[in-house]
Amino acid sequence: MKLLVFAGSTRLKSFNRQLARATAAMASASGPEVTHLELGDFDIPMYNADLEARGTPADVLRLKEIMHAHPAWIICTPEYNASYPALVKNTLDWVSSPVQGHATWNDGFRSTRGKVVGMLSASPGALGGLRSQSHLAPLLLNLQCWLAPLNFALAHAADAFDADGALVNEPARRHVQAVIDQVVWAAGRLQT
């Protein structure tokens, strides 16, 4: 099973990037083939239909291919103003936008349709970014993704990681592993 893990942040000390790294390491140790994606490695502008009309950026096509190749995803989303950040929306808007006249990518949902997605979030606050997940879920459903019923919001994230980036709290590790296991299991069932 191919699992894609990414955070909706490019901030250097982002808790969600830390959570994505920890999740990718845990998932790799439990069996699936894991790709840990850093959105900052892609040159993707803010979505604009006029810009798109001049040609879909090469990194958007690369991102479409990567997302299409992974039946299972885990998204670690920050919470900004009780919702997910613009980076998450912009990424999904570009990935789901059809490329007119392109033999492969003229179907806007090709990269998202049928993906099993688990949601994680991390925040220094007591809710752990849970509200961002409640807003992200309808967007993912609109993109024809399957949502894992389990999710996890890591509260007090400033104290949640050790010097090596691993989660220090055993209950937090169990919750993250449960999301990993459910996403991988469901993606395997849907592929058969």
**What is the number of structural domains in the chain?**
1
Q: Is the pLDDT of residue 125 over 80?
A: yes
Torsion sign across C-alpha atoms 171, 172, 177, 180: positive
**Prediction pTM value:** 0.96
* Phi (first) and psi of residue 76, to 5 degrees: -100, 105
pLDDT (tens digit, 9 = 90+) per residue, 151-184? Answer: 999 999 999 999 999 999 999 999 999 999 999 9
The pLDDT value recorded for residue 192 is 63
Distance (Å, rounded) from C-alpha 73 to C-alpha 88? 13
SS3 content of the chain, % helix, strand, coil (to 5): 45, 20, 40
- Identify the CATH number of the domain in which residue 45 sits: 3.40.50.360
Q: Which domain holds residue 106?
A: 2-191
State the DSSP H helix or E strand holding residue 73, giving kind and residue range, or none if neither. Answer: strand 72-76
